[in-house]
Structure 1
């Protein structure tokens, strides 16, 4: 089975259930102070997108290495090039109900700017249908223009997302 990453998929009511299922497993292994949140397009009812379940995990900074090891023990593959100074990035593919489903974990530390920005954007999009509709249209355009090129896909969305995130931090952060 192959997961076509850069394809637009409509929002599914299954997304929150798949997140909760994965969260339950992560809660069993991660430090007790870990914050686990559903973020990204699949966290926003009605948005649509690539259909990847994005999970934000935040731990105390000294526990990042431990959390990385624990995520890897659960089948998440660390992707060094996809991270940043404040975020470690992991990916896992699972077959759910006969379909391949991709999960991304964004591991960061409590109170990091990455943590605040990511949560604020998801909440902002949930609360603002106008921006959700605009963002969905932009995502569809990005899929067409990018043709499976991740760099192009992100470039099409970059300015809009930066503006939205800054507005979200002002209102929600």
Structure 2
């Protein structure tokens, strides 16, 4: 998205079948920059076939020690990743990087330590949406409505989406536990 006052920062688009290939290319790049990563995975809406999304590839990297990554931010910066310290103020072990090209976010990189509960949450959410077409459609409808309403207000878009994400996570946990 373009940056600046009043700029549209939230745009939800139809699923793009090129997103998995874009992730695969970025995964190969990141494997060279984060050689100690135990996992580099495609997460978020762009990882769910058929789901509309902001056209930003969300990537999860699981590492032994996030401090090692903090010390290598220059290597990530050489590949276009801008470290955003403080993005998750309640979790100092969750590092966030964004990649921007031509004024648009292209990738988000979430780096967490082995042992963090976040990888399981990201996977559970992704896999639930991949397995439940109706939940994915509900989520897509909400995202489109919020993007229309809050195109220039990314924080508000995220905040209003959060309650439904929590609901979907509760459903996914019930399903995993054998409930309905």
Q: TM-score range by the shorter chain?
A: 0.7 to 0.9
Matched residue, 2:68: 66
Pick from 16, 19, 23: which aligns with 1:15? 19
Matched positions, count: 168
- 1:1-173 alignment runs, 5 A limit: 2=2, 5-60=9-64, 63-68=65-70, 69=72, 70-84=75-89, 85=91, 86-94=93-101, 102-172=106-176
Distance in 1 between residues matched to 2:115 and 2:175, nearest whole Å:
17
When residues 64 and 73 of structure 1 are mapped into structure 2, their CA distance, relative to the original with a 3 A threshold, is: farther
Cα distance, 1:50 vs structure 2: 0.8
The normalised TM-score by structure 1 is 0.87
Give structure 1 stretches of 5+ with no counterpart.
none
When residues 101 and 145 of structure 1 are mapped into structure 2, their CA distance, relative to the original with a 3 A threshold, is: closer
Structure with more of its chain in helix, by fraction: 1
CA RMSD of the aligned region, Å? 2.2
Give structure 2 stretches of 5+ with no counterpart.
none
The normalised TM-score by structure 2 is 0.83
Of 118-127 and 107-116, more deviation after overlay is shown by: 107-116
Distance in 2 between residues matched to 1:33 and 1:81, nearest whole Å:
22
